[in-house]
Chains A and B, each alone.
Chain A
Amino acid sequence: MDHTAIDVAHMLAGGMVLVSFMLLYQDRMFGLLNVFALHAFVLSLSVAWQAYIQNAPHLFITAFIALVLKAIIIPVALHRVVVRLGIHRTIEIIGGVGPTMLFGMGLVALSMVVMLHATATADPLAREDLAFALSVVLLGLLMMVTRRNAVSQIVGFMSLENGLILAATGAKGMPLVVEISVAFSVLVAFIVIGVFLFRIRERFDTVDVEALEEARGERL
């Protein structure tokens, strides 16, 4: 495999790690949704590139699903949810941005070491992409753990799932990739619909404007 192909694949996978860090940095709801759309867009580019260099045309379908569903439909839907339910527009980050980013760096270092050590005999392109994918998964988990707000936790879960898809497409010849990605997308779509239907505004003790105002008795 020639070097340009490997370099572009690394660039896109590294770009996903970078966008995961950008997700961790956001503290405003709409900014978060826009960056998540970028995350899904980079995922679709990466999957499309893998489809091209592995000569696996079924991966193009996965790329298309990622692009349409995750980069366009879900962010727009979540945007509507946020506006309709009046969810608090700023995101509280437990521990502050600085320590979260430092911890994220540590997680990336950990996943590099673990993946590269464990797969010492495998194909170099695949193992490095897997290392990046594990980083994206861990950063998505970190995001879920350090946020108080339900929508940001959903976004964290979706970014984690993007990392899984990146891993699945990076490993050459993995079966049922398209089916798995469709299944995950359906799962996420149901979660979003659930939030919308059941008006779940909070998981932990978060402050939501309308709840506060009801408690204070200013609204009925």
Chain B
Amino acid sequence: MVLILQLIAQGAQMALVLLLAPLLLGFTRKVKARLLRRQGPPVLQPYRDLLRLIRKEVVLAHNASWLFRSGPYLIFAATWVAAALIPTFATDLYFSWTADLIAITALLGSARFFLALVGMDVGTAFGGIGSSREMMFASLAEPGMIMIVFTVALLAGSTQLSEVAEFMVTHVTLRVSLGLALVGLIIVALAENARIPVDNPATHLELTMVHEAMVLEYSGRHLAVLELASALKLLLYISLIACIFFPWGLAPFGSGPASYLIGLASYLGKLTVGGFLLALFETSIAKMRVFRVPDFLGIALMLGLLGMLLLFVSRSF
């Protein structure tokens, strides 16, 4: 009985993240538009976009391979598994111990690996641009993420996200290394989700695109799967920041339905605040030149390294 409830809770989380991802995207776009004094598309527009793409015909290039056709599903699967393992409204869900923070980072790395590969599949110049720039950003963003993971893990004594969340709730701390890690994680999240100032998610100009260049050749249902995967990634990062740095409201393991509802409500609230702040940030800063992004990402790597160094040197930092 208990096992079935636990499995239901885990399944509910997986479905929840999938359903909420396009809503988060739509909400962010709406807020951005309103800040720019436009009406903006309706909040439910991404759902309509996905339905429209699913119903369309797929046009494949003559030389697209099996990797091109199966790539979107692999990318989606890796991102969904990573997103489902992050505590959203409750900690210690049934399978939360199968992958810790390092594994989640590496799962996102797998998704990116396959995305870069499918970008190169058709053999066009745009795909090459996207893939090479994406791997250059990744070469700095991923070590930055790992350093931040190490900093948090050294503080909390564990790399398991549920343990980290419980530690942060019980020992409410204002530590230097946590502050550094938070700034670093925000920078990495902006870079990984192809947001301004690293990449512009709304444009198809060669000067400004990295993520869009890799998926340029996709259409129809494949493009729908990829769009859903990138929305999931945004949700994943905001949930990660909320879970590690603002873990209040998470329902602990085995508590009653009331606390699950509180957990759900606080999660929705955190997503709303996160989406709003992202939209605010994106409208107040300009996109950087491509070769200034490594300096920007280098900051995240350095902040993580500094946090880790401080924790190695003394326990009270």
* Cα–Cα, bound, A108→B176 (Å): 14
- Across the interface, do A11 and B299 meet the contact criterion of CB distance under 8 Å? no
13 contacts between A and B (CB under 8 A): A4-B174, A8-B174, A10-B176, A11-B175, A14-B317, A15-B176, A25-B299, A97-B295, A109-B309, A112-B309, A116-B313, A128-B314, A128-B317
Interface membership of A101, Cβ < 8 A: yes
Q: Is the CB of B298 within 8 A of A101?
A: yes
Contact with B along A1-43 (1 / 0, CB 8 A): 0001011101101110110010001000000000000000000
Q: Complex formed: what's the CA distance from A21 to B301 in Å?
A: 13
B306: interface (CB < 8 Å): yes
Q: Chain B: residues with CB nearer than 8 A to chain A? A: 173-177, 179-180, 183, 294-295, 298-299, 302-303, 305-306, 309-310, 313-314, 316-317
Further pairs besides A113-B313, A128-B317: 14, Cβ < 8 Å? A4-B174, A7-B175, A7-B176, A10-B175, A14-B177, A15-B179, A18-B183, A18-B303, A25-B299, A98-B295, A98-B298, A108-B306, A112-B309, A124-B316
Contact B302–A101 (Cβ < 8 Å): yes
Q: Of A18, A21, A116, which one neighbours B314 at CB under 8 angstroms?
A: A116
Given the interface pairs A25-B299, A98-B295, A98-B298, the reply to whether A10 lies near B316 with Cβ below 8 Å is yes
A191 at the interface (CB under 8 A from B): no
Q: Is A53 an interface residue (CB 8 A)?
A: no
Contact B316 A6 (CB under 8 A): yes
**Complex contacts, A10 vs chain B, CB 8 Å:** 175-176, 316-317
Of listed B179, B299, B306, residue having the most chain A CB within 10 A: B306
Count of A-B contacts judged by CB separation below 8 Å: 57
A105 sits at the interface (CB 8 A): yes
Known: A112-B309, A128-B317. A11 touches B295 (CB 8 A): no
In angstroms, Cα B294 to Cα A101, docked, is 12
- Min CB gap A22→B, angstroms: 8
Most buried by A among B176, B183, B294, B310: B176
Instruction: Using A98-B295, A128-B316 as known contacts, say yes or no to A11 and B310 having CB atoms under 8 A apart.
Output: no
In chain B, what residue has the closest Cβ to A15? B179
Going nearest first, the 8 A-B pairs with the smallest beta carbon separation are A14-B176, A7-B174, A10-B176, A112-B313, A97-B295, A11-B176, A11-B174, A109-B309
B residues near A105, Cβ cutoff 8 Å: 302, 305-306, 309
The 8 A CB mask of A136-157 against B (1 = contact, 0 = none) is 0000000000000000000000
Least CB distance from B312 to A in Å reads 9
Q: Which residue of B lies closest to A6 (CB)?
A: B316
1/0 contact string of A87-113 vs chain B (CB within 8 Å):
000000000011001000100110011
A14 CA to B298 CA in the complex, in Å?
Answer: 18
- How far is it, in angstroms, between the C-alpha of A101 and the C-alpha of B301 when the chains are bound? 11
Q: Are A108 and B309 in contact (CB under 8 A)?
A: yes
Q: Which residue of A lies closest to B172 (CB)?
A: A4
- A143 shortest CB reach to chain B, Å: 16
Q: A25-B299, A101-B302 are in contact. Are A112 and B174 (CB under 8 A)?
A: no
Q: Which residue of B is nearest A135, CB measured?
A: B306
In contact, A112 and B310 (Cβ under 8 angstroms): yes
Instruction: Give A125's nearest chain B residue, CB to CB.
Output: B316
Report the minimal beta-carbon distance from A100 to chain B, rounded to whole angstroms: 10
CA A107 – CA B170 in complex, angstroms?
35
Contacts of B306 in A (CB 8 A): 17, 105, 108
Q: How far is the CA of A196 from the CA of B145 in the complex (A)?
A: 46
Give 1 or 0 for each of A175-189: 1 = CB within 8 Å of chain B CB.
000000000000000
Give the complex CA separation of A59 and B82 in angstroms: 50
Residues of A within 8 A of B313 (CB): 112-113, 116
CA distance A218 to B186 in the complex (A): 49
Alpha-carbon gap, A108 to B305, bound state (A): 11
A128-B316, A128-B317 are known contacts. Are A14 and B179 too (CB-CB below 8 A)?
yes
Candidates B174, B180, B294; contact of A18 at CB < 8 Å: B180
Which residues of chain A are near B303, meaning CB under 8 Å? 18
Interfacial chain A residues near B310, Cβ < 8 Å:
14, 112
Chain A contacts of B180 at CB under 8 A?
14, 18
How close is B220's CB to chain A, nearest CB, in angstroms?
Answer: 43
User: How far is the CB of A131 from the nearest CB of chain B, in Å?
Assistant: 8
Chain B residues within 8 Å of A18, by CB = 180, 183, 303
Determine the distance from Cα of A7 to Cα of B316 in the docked complex, in whole angstroms.
Answer: 8
Contact pick for A21, options B174, B302, B309, B316, CB 8 Å: B302
B186 to chain A, nearest CB (A): 13
Q: Which residues of chain A come closer than 8 Å to B173, judged between CB atoms?
A: 7
Q: Which residue on A lies nearest to B315, using beta carbons?
A: A124
* Known A-B contacts A11-B175, A14-B179, A105-B302; A25 and B295 likewise in contact (beta carbons under 8 Å): yes
**Residues of B contacting A11 with CB < 8 Å?**
174-176, 179
* A18 (CB) vs chain B CBs: closest residue: B180
In angstroms, Cα B295 to Cα A101, docked, is 9
Distance in angstroms between the alpha carbons of A124 and B313 in the assembled complex? 13
B308 to chain A: closest CB distance in Å? 11
